Structure formats: C-alpha cells, structure tokens
Structure 1
Amino acid sequence: MPRFAANLSMMYQEHDFLDRFAAAAQDGFRGVEFLFPYAFAAHEIAARLQGAGLSQVLFNAPPGDFEAGERGIAALPGREEEFRSGFARALAYAEALQCPRLHVMAGLVAPDADRARMHDSYCANLSWAAAQAHAAGRTVLIEPINGRDMPGYFLQRQDQAHAIVEAVGSPGLAVQMDLYHCQIVEGDLETKLRRYLPTGRVGHIQIAGVPARHEPDTGELNYPHLFGVLDALGYAGWVGCEYRPAAGTREGLGWFRTAQRRSTSHKVSSSMAHALCALHAVHTFPEM
C-alpha cells in the first residue's frame, strides 16, 4: 500500500495552518505537502514538522502573483530573473524543511501567446532549475493540470510533460502525476500508470475523487484498484492527498483508515509467510 501524505493546503482547514501538522500526525499521516510556505518563516514550519514527526514531501516554488490569478511563470518569456529569484527562495525553504521535491508551475497561456516561444522559455527555465535542484539533492516536478479547474494552463497532458522531461534531459526533473487531473483530461489511468511509472520519470503522485475533488472513495475512480497497480509496479514514492474534504477532514478519512488496515494486514501476512519459509528450511525431513 502506498505512503500517503496529507495536503495541508486543502485538508485540515478546520485548524490554523501551523496547527494542521499535529492534526495530520494524530490521524496517522507520516508525510505532508502543501502549496506555498512563504507566508511563514521556514524555521516555524520546520519546528511543526519535527514536533509532529512528519516528513515534508513536496511544496511549490513561487508562482508569480497568485492572488492576482497567476499560476506560475516558468513558461512566461521575459520573467526569467523573477523565476530564478523565486526558485532560489524555494530551494532555501527546501533545505530548511528537508523537502526533496519542488513543484514548478508553468503559467497560463494568454490569447495572443506564442506557444512555441513559451515552450522554449519553459524548457530553458526547467533546465536551469533542475541543475540547481540536483546539485542540492532535490528534484523539480512539473504537473499537468486540467483546463476545467485551471483554464488556459500551459501543461495539461501526461505525454506533453514526459516529452518536456525527456527534452530537458536532467536527472533533477520529473513529472508530478495527479490522477485527478489525468482522469479529467485523459482517463485510462491504469494504462497511463503502466506506461509511465516504468520510465522512472514519475517523481510524485497525487489523488482526489473525480469529479468533485473530494475524498478518493467518492466519485468515479476505483482507487483501491489503482493502489494495487502502484504496488504491482513497485512505486515506492509518496501519494499526496490533494483533495477538499466534503464535510470535515477527520470525518472523511474512512478510506485512509481502510488503507492502513490493509497495509497492516499485508505486512502481517508477509511476516508469517517468511516465518513459515524459515521454519520449513530448518526442519528438513529425510527421504522415505
């Protein structure tokens, strides 16, 4: 069973942000992610992580003016210096939080935009950022986002993201595969997982129910089956729970508790099987 990380930007909104870490740990999460940490000092967040015994697994680099509607600047020509300055700030936070992954948002396509020029700017910025991240022991992630939730976002498809990662060719760059977005844009999720996970280019996975982006046990997707696919493919990374609870975070964690029980049961069964094999190896019998 995958390792699940609570997304503290969407989950636990019953609490102030810095109190969400302890709440997630109390519910059994061992990892967390969120969108942006920059409203708080890095040492404040680091203290909450350490106090709750949590790993920070992901957050976003600065996206430009988010409040004004910007959704990243990595693919926007002419914003290179701002991008580099923001990414340097993200790396400093990643060091303080011991976070291995940084999501870089591409940005929105203006009606009169030159997509080819945007693509070139995107690849150049990603190449620079991935080199900086790799030198620091981090990985840059790019995420296809559906156009219903984020109209006009530059990066929307898995094949587009993987082609960019291949073109950049840096070990510090990977794809953030959000199954919620992928289902809305493309569907065929098991096939997509079986196609892309073996490439080694998927650095993080996220989940939510489709279509309402509530708990993963609501909506049209069979997540228990998909979790089994992840196990079968040997996925050892984190699965970020980037969903909006329908009626309270803790009240909607039935799916998580079920997953924990299945994981515990699987570990017990595996331990018993190993013990029986060892016992059989010790107690050999003579031929009759």
Structure 2
Amino acid sequence: MRFAANLSMMFTERSFLERFGAAAEAGFDAVEFLFPYDTPAERIKAALDAHGLTQALFNLPPGNWAAGERGIASLPGREAEFREGVATAIAYAKVLGNRLLHCMAGIPPEGLERDAALAIYTENLRHAAAACAEAGLTLLIEPINNRDMPGYLMNGTALARRVIEEVGAPNLKLQLDLYHCQISEGDLATRIRGNADLTAHVQIAGVPDRQEPDRGEVHYPYLFEVLAGTGFRGFIGCEYRPRGRTEDGLGWFHTASQQAAR
C-alpha cells in the first residue's frame, strides 16, 4: 500500500509548492490535493519531479468553492461549464501524470427533485468518463457524508454503486473515503470488502474530528489489513487536518509504512 499526502490539508504551515518537499522529507512518495488550478501545471510538475513524487489524483473544477459550491455535475444549466472543467482537468493530468480524477457531484439547488439531479449527474458522468477514457484516465466518484457537507448528492456507497452501474463506463470507479463512510454508514470492513470490485482510491482520517487516523473511533491498522486482503493496490490518500505541526503527528504513517514493507 502507498500513502499519498493530501497537500490541501497537510503541511499547510508552508506555501503550496513548498509542501511537496515537506511531504517527501517526511517519507511520502505520492501526493494528492483538491484543486491545482491556481498554479500552472508546469510548476506543479517541476515540484513533483524535484522531490521524486507521484501525483495520485486531484478533483475536477468544483464551481464557485468560495460561494459554497461543491461540484457542478448535478446542477442544472451548468453542463457547458462542466465540460470545460473536464477538459481543463484532463490537460492538467496530462502534465502531472496522474491516472485518477475525482468528479464532485455537488449540492443540488433547493426545489430540484433528487431524481432530476441524479439524471443530470449521470449524464455528465457519461461525458466525463468518455473524455477520461480517451485520455487513458480513470474517473472517480466519492460518497461524502451529509454532516460535513449538508445536501451533497453522492452520500452513500450503495448510491455510488448504482450510479456507476447505470453509467456503465469501465473507467468509472469508486473513491472510498473511510472517514465519510464511517459517519454515513459504518461497518467499514464490510463496506471495503463489498466494494472492492469498484474501489480505485481510498482516503482516511480519524473520526469524528478528521484529524490523524490514529485518533478517534476507527482502528485503521485492522482496516489496512482488510484492504490488503481484498487485493487493493492503489493509493491511500491522507485527507485529514493535523492537530498541530504535520510532522509531529506522523507516527501512525511510519508504523504503517514499515508494516507494509514487510
């Protein structure tokens, strides 16, 4: 198993481009982040190469994040903007070298029926998956809990499976965030095993406070064994908010990395 430091949440004591070196120095060989679009792709690629890092994934453009938008794939009337965002993300991926892109579903506006939002979402995913397939990329969808993100459309693994099956694209897969899954559904070992056929990327954080994964109610060493038992060989993204200085909370990571190397 390979762990990817999430540079949108970790090493935030530094500027964005400085976080790559900090992640490598801490022992990571891969990184992920939410959105790269404020920084030219060539500058990010230079940071990756300078520190021997692999880019695991990032998200498609989310719409107006500052205004509370969390993706536009299920929003009516935004189809043209969504397609432009897909093209932009693919262009970045071609430079950065990652093979995975995550599409945020969004928070549908009040008054829009859930089935109508799902229909828009599904159609947009068909377009995005086809464009990604042409570029040799895998598109991911991720269930996000409605406590942290009220109203978010994609909020459960059963719904994700249903949507993936309905879209029918072989390169549309699941991003299984165990933090969100614990809050929304629980029974994590069963969720991991039951969705192993679709899971291309995993993310972790402590529950309930989204801090280091060695704090809280989830016992990750056991879940790492469950993941390994399913044959999962993808990245595990560390999408958590450190309690303090990032490096001071990485004891769990060094232990897990040593165990994985045995």
TM-score normalised by L of structure 2: 0.98
Tell me which of 238, 242, 245 is aligned to 2:239: 242
Alpha-carbon distance, 1:159 to partner: 0.4
Aligned length, in residue pairs: 262
- Where 1:5 maps in the other structure, the secondary structure is strand
Note the aligned Cα RMSD (angstroms): 0.8
- Where 2:252 maps in the other structure, the secondary structure is helix
Q: Supply the distance in 2 between the matched residues of 1:263 and 1:181 (Cα, whole angstroms).
A: 24
Equivalent residues in 2 for 1:188-267 (5 A)?
Answer: 188-197=187-196, 199=197, 201-264=198-261, 266=262
Q: Supply the distance in 2 between the matched residues of 1:233 and 1:16 (Cα, whole angstroms).
A: 37
Q: Tell me the alpha carbon deviations over residues 174-230 of structure 1, each in whole angstroms, 9 at most, x when there is no partner.
A: 111000000000000001111110x2x111100000000000000000000000011
Equivalent residues in 2 for 1:49-88 (5 A)?
Answer: 49-88=48-87
Q: Supply the distance in 2 between the matched residues of 1:88 and 1:120 (Cα, whole angstroms).
A: 21
Q: Supply the distance in 2 between the matched residues of 1:166 and 1:135 (Cα, whole angstroms).
A: 20
- Where 2:17 maps in the other structure, the secondary structure is helix
Q: Which residue of 1 aligns with 2:169?
A: 170
Q: Which residue of 1 aligns with 2:44?
A: 45
The alignment-based identity, stated in percent, is 55
- Where 1:155 maps in the other structure, the secondary structure is coil
Q: Supply the distance in 2 between the matched residues of 1:96 and 1:151 (Cα, whole angstroms).
A: 34
Alpha-carbon distance, 1:263 to partner: 2.5
Q: Tell me the alpha carbon deviations over residues 141-182 of structure 1, each in whole angstroms, 9 at most, x when there is no partner.
A: 111100111111011000001110011010121111000000
Q: Supply the distance in 2 between the matched residues of 1:223 and 1:65 (Cα, whole angstroms).
A: 34
Alpha-carbon distance, 1:109 to partner: 2.6
Equivalent residues in 2 for 1:10-25 (5 A)?
Answer: 10-25=9-24
Q: Which residue of 2 aligns with 1:278?
A: none
Q: Supply the distance in 1 between the matched residues of 2:124 and 2:99 (Cα, whole angstroms).
A: 19
Q: Supply the distance in 2 between the matched residues of 1:110 and 1:85 (Cα, whole angstroms).
A: 21
- Which runs of 4 or more aligned residues in structure 1 lie more than 3 Å from their structure 2 counterparts after TM superposition? none
Paired letter, 2:137: R
Q: Supply the distance in 2 between the matched residues of 1:109 and 1:185 (Cα, whole angstroms).
A: 19
Q: Which residue of 1 aligns with 2:146?
A: 147
For the pair 1:26 / 2:25, whether they are aligned, the reply is: yes
Q: Which residue of 2 aligns with 1:118?
A: 117
Q: Supply the distance in 2 between the matched residues of 1:243 and 1:86 (Cα, whole angstroms).
A: 26
Contact kept, 8 Å, 2:20 with 2:48, in 1: the verdict is yes
Contact kept, 8 Å, 2:75 with 2:109, in 1: the verdict is no
Equivalent residues in 2 for 1:97-108 (5 A)?
Answer: 97-108=96-107
For the pair 1:132 / 2:127, whether they are aligned, the reply is: no
- Where 1:17 maps in the other structure, the secondary structure is coil
Paired letter, 2:227: L
Paired letter, 2:136: G
Q: Which runs of 5+ in 1 are unaligned?
A: 267-288
Q: Which residue of 2 aligns with 1:185?
A: 184
Alpha-carbon distance, 1:112 to partner: 1.1
Q: Supply the distance in 2 between the matched residues of 1:263 and 1:103 (Cα, whole angstroms).
A: 26
Paired letter, 2:65: F
TM-score normalised by L of structure 1: 0.90
Q: Which residue of 2 aligns with 1:279?
A: none
Q: Which runs of 5+ in 2 are unaligned?
A: none
